[in-house]
Amino acid sequence: MKQVLILGGGTAGTMVANDLHGRLSSRDWRITVVDANNRHLYQPGLLLLPFGTYQPKDLVRRRDRYLPTGVNYVIGDITHLDAEGQTVDLSTGARLPYDYLVIATGTSPRPDQTPGMDDPGIWRTSAFDFYTLDGALALRDRLAAWDGGRLVVHITEMPIKCPVAPLEFAFLADDFFRRRDMREQVDITFVTPLEGAFTKPVASRHLGSMLDSRRIHLEPDFVVEHVDPETRTLVSMDEREVAFDLLVTVPLNMGADFLAGTGLADELNYVQVDKGTFLARHHDNVFALGDASDIPASKAGSVAHFAVEVFGQNFVDHVEGRPMRAAFDGHANCFIESGNGRGLLIDFNYDTEPLTGVFPWPVVGPMALLKETRTNHWGKLAFRWIYWNLLLRGRPIPIPTHMSMAGKVPAEPAAAAQRS
């Protein structure tokens, strides 16, 4: 009996377990999933929780309910991986051997990596994250009681998971304070290490003008060096300063600690893999999927979903000695909440940046790309149902695995030139 061990039972790990369970014979294969706990968190909901749209009960479900019967589920903190000896150690003292390993342990915010950021004098009283359930809840309570001042929305360093989430937070904050009739009392600044609002030129222009029209000040090229808890100031490497009364930061994102020193991962603990097949560079029996890998795509649930669709047949081919024929194209598809009951949609891959147009069908849409519509907002809200009921369980959804140009308007020459 061969053992395939899946580390992490989040978005990617759960989808992989469902997919491989349908492909591998239970006579020959034993599939095991390991995770630190039995609580699956719907992370996209953390964006809306601080504004009161969701409660924790809407976002957390038992993890084992989404794993198929016949898949072995082990709860424990992964503390050590020996890629040569093909074993994984848990905090419980258990040692799990494997023939094939799928690493899907995601990425986590690490405020401890920036001096002063998690200082007890400011952390969760005037400096918050919303990428964790505890952080989002603390921020919700602070926002409800806050009487205004300088709100700074901040990205520490790329890559982060859901790279549009901080922008969405800034748009939603603008809307939140308008509705409370206190927008004039709040000064909003968006501080980013990027040179514009987003990574890709066409989307960056659109999103940058949306910041302008909402009177949200953009502070680009800001690489934070430390946070001064006394003066409540972000200080950059080039000695610029941005003062805040309320800081909403996305701390440095890092892969799991047990990956450091395994020879598999880079300095941020992301597993170095082939960007088409997810096979680890130097180990023929190790794959990494989802946020845990170093592929140059967005760290997003949608990317994990399309990646798993490519991975399944490739895995079977690989273990049976055939070449892996399918190659992942980096397809990402993300809704962007813009406030006032509207949202945008972006659809892109390794080679094609987010463009305008309609999605998924030419002419009829019904979603508009890079344009604020109510349909896109409802799409974002509907996604929670799709996540729990279709996506995690590997049931089909009507979006192609590979990005399609159907309905998209090609970039103007100026944007294309800027890109190259």
Ligand X SMILES: Cc1cc2nc3c(=O)[nH]c(=O)nc-3n(C[C@H](O)[C@H](O)[C@H](O)COP(=O)(O)OP(=O)(O)OC[C@H]3O[C@@H](n4cnc5c(N)ncnc54)[C@H](O)[C@@H]3O)c2cc1C
DSSP 232: T
Question: From the CB of 211, what's the least distance to ligand X, in Å?
Answer: 19
In whole angstroms, the minimum distance from the beta carbon of 53 to ligand X comes to 13
**Residues binding ligand X: what is the number (CB under 6 A)?**
35
User: Running DSSP on this structure, what letter comes out for residue 234?
Assistant: E
CB of 268 to ligand X, least distance (A): 14
Q: What is the contact mask toward ligand X in residues 86 to 125, using x (rule: CB under 6 A)?
A: ------------------xxx-------------------
Q: Is 331 in the site for ligand X (CB under 6 A)?
A: no
Q: Is 334 in the site for ligand X (CB under 6 A)?
A: yes
| 135 touching ligand X, by CB under 6 A | no
Min dist. Cβ of residue 89 to ligand X (A) = 11
Q: Give residue 370's region: left, alpha or beta (phi > 0; psi -120 to 50).
A: left
Q: In sequence order, what DSSP letters do the residues of 7-68 get, joined into one string?
A: E--SHHHHHHHHHHHHHS-TTTEEEEEEES-SEEE-GGGGGTGGGTS--HHHHEEEGGGGSP
CA quadruple 338, 341, 347, 352: dihedral positive or negative? Answer: negative
Site for ligand X in 374-413 (CB under 6 A): none
Shortest distance, position 360 Cβ to ligand X, whole Å: 16
- How is residue 59 written in tokens? 């976002």
Contacts of ligand X in 16-75 (CB under 6 A) = 34-36, 43-44, 46-47
**Strand ranges inside 77-148, DSSP E:** 78-82, 87-90, 95-97, 100-103, 107-109, 127-128
Q: Is 12 in the site for ligand X (CB under 6 A)?
A: yes
Among residues 118 and 347, whose Cβ is nearest to ligand X?
Answer: 347
Residues 278-317 that bind ligand X (CB under 6 A): 290-292, 299-302, 304
User: For ligand X, which is the closer residue by CB, 234 or 345?
Assistant: 345
* Token pair listed for 175: 């809307």
Instruction: Note whether 329 binds ligand X by CB under 6 A.
Output: no
- Which spans of this chain sit near ligand X (rule: CB under 6 A)? 8-13, 34-36, 43-44, 46-47, 77-78, 104-106, 130-131, 161-162, 165, 256, 258, 290-292, 299-302, 304, 334-335
